Structure 1
């Protein structure tokens, strides 16, 4: 069973409440202990001060020495007891016999508690003990005469009940403050939770995490480069494809946190942020690398908070378009065969209508013989159906251009182990034959020879034409992308040949002289496919 996730607002409220509650409980314990210590300390100090004051009274001293009226001690201590608000003030002689007490009937009796021994030995002491008036904090002060001889002692007691009462009052005040703090904390937690959820568009944390993972996976998987900047035009995001293009342009591989103007001076993302308008399908050059760029503003709540640029290497776009020439070659071969077939059918139809059956018989036999020769020559030596069909299609294409194309297969050519080899060879053969056929357009002898060899997993092809040839300096430039002597929008065929040969670990050697035709020799790795491959 899937565990239910708590909402963000619930988590924040619970967290804040727990923090406030724990803080208040700890504060309550610390304050309570501090207040308790302070109250006890104040009571002890108060008891000491009262006992010392009484011990220094001449009335007490004269009464203990028998020089004055002993009854005056009781009157004096009662006045002190009321004024100081203590539980009792007891004066005793050196035998521990009371000379004063809140209860007059206890005067003349021995002091109760057992904690008076220290003071009768001349020491000022403090204790908590239980006497006839209950448990109390007691302060004992010795009484000395003029000759510094101890003649008695004073005991002042403050009821512990008053201490507990003071502590209870303080604790109640702390609890009231704690409850108010918790209520304020809950209200604050609810307010914060609503505010955060509003900022997050009402999304829960698990949803945000899922969206973030999906976004990162998507950004890193797309082939287009992606760069995002914030409102200050600082780079905040770059995916792997963008880094690949930047590395190709010689830029740093760690642009995060850099101003986009410093990293890519001509990116124009600042203009998109300023205007809030997208710029689509524009071309830009980065250190010689041409890219196609889309720039769009990032808008949140009708405010531009950044911009995103997506781009792709223009050379890759061109290469994708150019790779379609392989498919184009297939289509051209089929079109040529169809056109040739229609022409021959028109001839046959004309001979039938003319009822010239002798010529019709001879013409059909020639067609069948030519077709059988061509088909047998190619299919018996080239076992890859796609490659064989393509070559036969080129025979029809050459005849359509009034060029005599001769195919000579010197060795048996098996099917390749990797089917992609067929596609690359079709690109190579198609472009070389097309160039040779076009090269003979203005020649008196329009002949092209295609020779195929195969030995020890090495494929070799020789294309020879009777065209006008070319100079050595031109032969060095024909494989440069976009170079052509035939006009604009040309010059990609031999570039594709070069790329296909690179994939096949192959080579191409050109021999040409002006007015003497051209010979191109291709060698490439060609592993034979085994049975069951």
Structure 2
């Protein structure tokens, strides 16, 4: 049997069970409502009757039964209740629908009503189980002279309820008929959508589909729906891991990074570099067409985070090596000069030359190691000074630079400051007198990194584009520096901006708390 046929039978069974259960629950609710309505009605009758002057006067008369029996029966018949019983303060009936019960103790509870408030209960009395309310009766002087008990038997409530049962059954039958028609229409539509396949065939197709998704080593996203409201139809485990999505369940379209959402509406990508909060991804996308109509988009994701990290470390090591080579070359020149001066007998000039060159370098080292708590950051700044000098750029670490212990990993600090300085050195090359100025300081509970250069600077729009995908003004595909910086800043809840008054300055501000 096809899926549609099985679903039709299952729906009919479910709808029948639901309709019957709903009918029973509705009946139970109606019964409870009937009890509540009865309780309210007998309470109102008992309270009203207890306030009649003739009731208190009759209870004070020498023969309360003769004075009140006929009146109590009139009230009972007029209100449609089963009994209106008047009781003296001692709890003895002075009226009752069954004359033989007059003079006997009241078979209920009157003590709770002595406090002045009516008391309702369900109790089995002389007429059987009933819902009753006992109200106190007071004389004009305020003395308690008796009680009025008004009740309706359960039998009468049940008879009234049974008269409404056919209506409930009719509603259930109509609901069941409508459900059956709806189930048939749904089944017919499902038969067309599943091409009449049976569950085994569909299960095998799903198993193969699921196995393929789980075995793919790349992240896979499949977008569907119209361009104005795209949706995520398929997302495999690797894509969930790379994008930090929940391990199971549907993925709302708005939870994806903005650059990936742009691809869902027809954008194509070939080995584009996209950055999320924690990862560097290489993205490819292709449109899916059917009968010359685009029905969706397939996006694949490859994780290059570790590769970029290794490349960054390699660039840092290469930079340090170049700086050391330059320093060694320069030191060799200076040493050769000093040795020659000594050989020429000009020892005092040699000492002065060596001391002057050493003092400049040592002063910067002492200042940074004292002002900057993180050794890796101090070493980075010292290395960048030499690296910039080798590229013909004057790099200055301002006297304002001072940073105590901060709750930011050393690797993030190096990535943040190093990439900002690298971009500034590259941008400063085109100036006649290239220079870069770096400040790393702490202001209240915020770490501030300011990097200015002699280059043309970036507008806020260009900076925003660079923060998203890795922008570069160069022809080759580089420019991940600012994107990686933005990744670090966002991870620590900070902001990255340009200074409007100084177009060639980039400022990163990261909150570091009050304990630093």
TM-score range for the pair, normalised by the shorter chain length: 0.3 to 0.5
TM-score, normalised relative to structure 1: 0.41
TM-score, normalised relative to structure 2: 0.42
